[in-house]
Every structure is written in structure tokens, then in C-alpha cells.
Chains A and B, each alone.
Chain A
């Protein structure tokens, strides 16, 4: 598959915009200071990348992974338990968490990716719930519902990462997000990404060109699972205690992630950043309204999905196309921009 990356060009205009955006994201929390803003921005980045990973599967190959929170759980517990029982560093734990999730992704993918639509979604959901209940029941190892205490990141090259300073964790996740986004971006802009789009458009039309559709789906699914696991591992060491509840690693978490991908806009990757900024930001802004914030939050989501069915990114794209057609450019010329 290495030859498939041959036509990838960097930097291009979109990549530069993204780099500028990330530079801004790096600067804001440190300029504002305190503990609250870095914590909020850490949430935004975490939900952004999870939304982008969900979109990498759904928006590019129509793989509906209702069990994404289960893969997050695999990464979190994979890292936390490895640190506890095998005494590896949390940094190595990131890799272990990613691999744990990738292995589950590989097994799930081999079993389900020949299926279509709702069947994949349901199977991933079952995998998530099975994993969550297995963790709940294996109390001797995982401490189940009592919660597993997880240590923070250890010093790296002499640099400490105390939990009392959220800004340090913010920079860890920022670095992880940049690396992950760069990998996803490189994939979707390469020949592999072109094949993803072909499969999304017409699976049968792609397979009669000699392309093994299931292999590409499996590649996509395992890559996404790996990175979800890495962020699960980060989450474990960031939050400090793991409890296998539905809010943390069940359907509620999945719904949050897929909402960000849908509100942000599918098939773009970057749309999830808009989704995460809006949804996490809104939750924070409305926090004082207590229960009423959930009502307002829900109504806002209904409104957004109704007004912008293709999400914020789709709305921006349409706006851009209108601009370019007014500027005399042919609107029918390829303007489809991915990632």
C-alpha cells in the first residue's frame, strides 16, 4: 500500500489553514492561563479527534461504528492495566492502548465488514457492551464499578506533567491530535483515500475494478480503532479514574461523538472541530442553567441538523461554492474538498 501514498502533496492550502488553526489552538489556552480554559480546550480537542475518527469511518466508507466508545474503553483500560500490572510508563501505555483497541478492531472488522449498514453498527455496539460488562465483572483485575485509579503521565525528558496543571495535559493531547490528524489527512488525500471515496460512492463499481473492498474497510477500521485506543489511553491518565459506565464508555459517549461528527459535517475530518467547538463550548456556556441546558442543547441540535443537514462543514462548503460561482468560476468544476 506504500505506493498508494505517492501522490500526496504537502503542504497545500488546506493543510496550511489547518496548521494555522492548530497554532492558534496551541496559543490560546497558554495565553489565557488558569486551569479552567486548558481543561475546556482539552475536552474540545478530545471530542474533535474522536469525532474526526468517527467521520474517518462513517464519512469515507459509511462504516457506522456505534461501538466507538468501546474502543475508547479498550484503549483506556489497556493502558491503565498495563501500567498497573506490567509497570510500563503511561507513554508506552498510549501505544499499548492503541494496540489493544486495534486488535479488537481487527477481530470485529474481520467478522463484520463484509456486512453492510445497520449490521456493522449493531455488531460494534455489541462489542462495546460486551467489553464494558466484561470489565465491570472482572473486579479482581479492573476493580469494576468501584473504579480503577490511574496515575498521570510521568516526566518525559525531565519535563513534569502534574495533573494539577491541566495546560501540560493540553499540550500532550494537542501533540497527539496533530500527529493523528496528519496521518488521517495523509490517508484521505492519498490513493487510499481515493479508493475510500470510490467505495463510498459505489462498492460494487469499485470491486469490479479489481479492488478488494473489504481490505480497504479493514484498513480504515483498524487505523481508526488504533487511534481511538490511543486517545482512550490518554483519557485514562488524564482523568485519573476509570469506571465502565455508559456515560464514560457506553452508548451515551458514542452518541456524543457521533453528534459531533454529524453536526460538524461528514466526509471532511475538519468539520468535527467545528462540531466540538460548538457542542463543548455550548455545554460550558449553558452550565449555569443546570437541567435546562440539556433542553436548550437538544433543541439546538435539532435546529442545526434541520437547517444544515450536511453539518457546519457542508454549510461552509456551500457558502464557498456560492462565492466562487459569483466570482465567475464554474460551480460544476470539482470543488469537493475532503479533509
Chain B
């Protein structure tokens, strides 16, 4: 099967400090890949390179074979990459429904279609009851949920989620896992960064381990758990 995402020998430095070194991996459609590693391993930097927030010094990022390296975040999103952030970047001065509406401005929908899509998404993520609340009034967990919902509104082919379970209640984690699994069944590819070693195995079977900006290994979570090098890397961090 053709890879949905290909990261090909990507390097990235900040003021001479190597953050990513020769990172290479791929992801097929309808699969979830966890990205783990100690703090400072380059996980979020990798996400930022994929989504165009940082430009790669060298190497390529391909989406469905199309070279998206160093394109703008807006263009990359237009190609079908949706993402969330470690700290939710919701529009706090708007209502929950308005946040979702922003994600549809490029969809060319009529007002009625737009309302239907928003209502369906709110129902899917369980935020119907707070649709007219200002986002600033929501707890962090619901903001995370809203941000994920907003990313999903753009109908991405690749969804990249940065710490989706951080600061989120057990109920919301269950809901998020079920939603992401649903999307993946529809053929969406998903990359997830998480430090939550309890929730991550419930979401994905395979992980990529980054340590000091390099890919240490990739494999099933059950195998990785017993890998002495990874235990050392985490404990050493």
C-alpha cells in the first residue's frame, strides 16, 4: 500500500543545535502511529515540520506522494493535514460553535449545510450542550476535545495530535479514543504524541521512538516496553 505520509531523512537545527537528525518513517492510511520519547526528543518539532510551522533544513515530507516539505501551514492543511497542539489553540473569544465554523470557511458550504455539519460534530464529541458557551469558560479537557473536533471539521486525511490526553478526564480520554478509532476506520491516518503510557496502548499498537532527535526504533508497544535502550533513554531524561 502507498504510504499516506512519508518523512524522508529530515534534519532540523535551531541555532546550531540539532533537534532532528535524519528522521525517516512512513504511515499508511487507516493506521495510527504513536510518537514517543523523553522530553526534548524532537517529537513536537517533528510535528511542526510535517505541518509546515518549521521548515526542514534538509529531507522531504510527502503526503500521498506529494512533496509538502516547507509549504505554509495553511497550504499543508489544505492538502489534508489536520493537527492539534500540546496546549489547545482554541479561539477563546468565540463560542464553541463558532470555533467549528471557522474550520469550514473554505468548504464552500451553504449556511444550512454548515449548521448541519457543526451540529453533527458537536454531537459526535459530546459538546452539544455547550455549543453557545464562550470557549474561555470551558475547562482544559473540553478545549482539547474542541480543538480535535475543529481539526476533524477540515476532513483531514492525516490527523496529527500532540498530547491529546494531557490534562483530560478519563471520560474525555475514552471519548477521544473512540472518535480517533472511528476516523481511522474511515481511512484517516493518525500520528499521536503522548506521554500517557496507560492510554496510548489503547489507541495504537505501533510506536516510533525518538531520542535526541533520532529514530531509535519502531515497533509494537509490547516489544518497545521491554527494550532496555528505551527504558534507559526515558530514565536518563
Given contacts A197-B91, A201-B92, A201-B93, contact A207 B102 (CB under 8 A): no
CA distance A197 to B82 in the complex (A): 20
Contact partners of B77 in chain A: CB under 8 A: 207-211
Identify which of residues 87-137 in chain B touch chain A, using a CB-to-CB cut-off of 8 Å: 89-95, 98, 101-103, 105-106, 108, 110-111, 114, 132-134, 137
B83, B110, B111, B151 — most chain A CB neighbours (10 Å): B111
CA distance A198 to B98 in the complex (A): 9
CA distance A105 to B114 in the complex (A): 33
**0/1 string, A175-209, CB within 8 A of B gives 1:** 00000000000000001001101101110111111
Contact partners of B101 in chain A: CB under 8 A: 191, 194
Given contacts A206-B102, A207-B73, contact A201 B150 (CB under 8 A): no
Q: Is A306 an interface residue (CB 8 A)?
A: no
**0/1 string, B58-99, CB within 8 A of A gives 1:** 000000000000001111011000110100011111110010
B102 CB, min distance to chain A CBs, angstroms: 5
Contact with A205, one of B91, B111, B132 (Cβ below 8 angstroms): B91
Nearest A residue to B106 via CB reads A210
Q: Is B184 an interface residue (CB 8 A)?
A: no
A204 near B53: Cβ-Cβ < 8 Å: yes
Which of A3-11, A129-137, A235-243, A246-254 interfaces with chain B?
A: A3-11
A208 near B73: Cβ-Cβ < 8 Å: yes
B205 CB, min distance to chain A CBs, angstroms: 27
A332 near B73: Cβ-Cβ < 8 Å: no
Q: Please report the total number of B residues contacting A with Cβ < 8 Å.
A: 35
B96 CB, min distance to chain A CBs, angstroms: 9
CA distance A69 to B100 in the complex (A): 38
Nearest A residue to B73 via CB reads A207
Q: Is B194 an interface residue (CB 8 A)?
A: no
Contact partners of B73 in chain A: CB under 8 A: 204, 207-208
Q: Is B6 an interface residue (CB 8 A)?
A: no
7 new A-B contacts at CB < 8 Å, known A201-B91, A201-B94, A210-B77 = A3-B108, A6-B111, A202-B91, A207-B74, A208-B74, A209-B102, A212-B72
- A to B CB contacts below 8 Å, 14 in the list: A4-B105, A7-B111, A194-B98, A195-B102, A197-B93, A201-B94, A202-B90, A209-B74, A209-B102, A209-B150, A211-B105, A212-B74, A332-B133, A334-B133
A-binding residues in B (CB < 8 A): 51, 53, 72-75, 77-78, 82-83, 85, 89-95, 98, 101-103, 105-106, 108, 110-111, 114, 132-134, 137, 150-151, 154
B-binding residues in A (CB < 8 A): 3-4, 6-7, 191, 194-195, 197-198, 200-202, 204-213, 332-334, 336
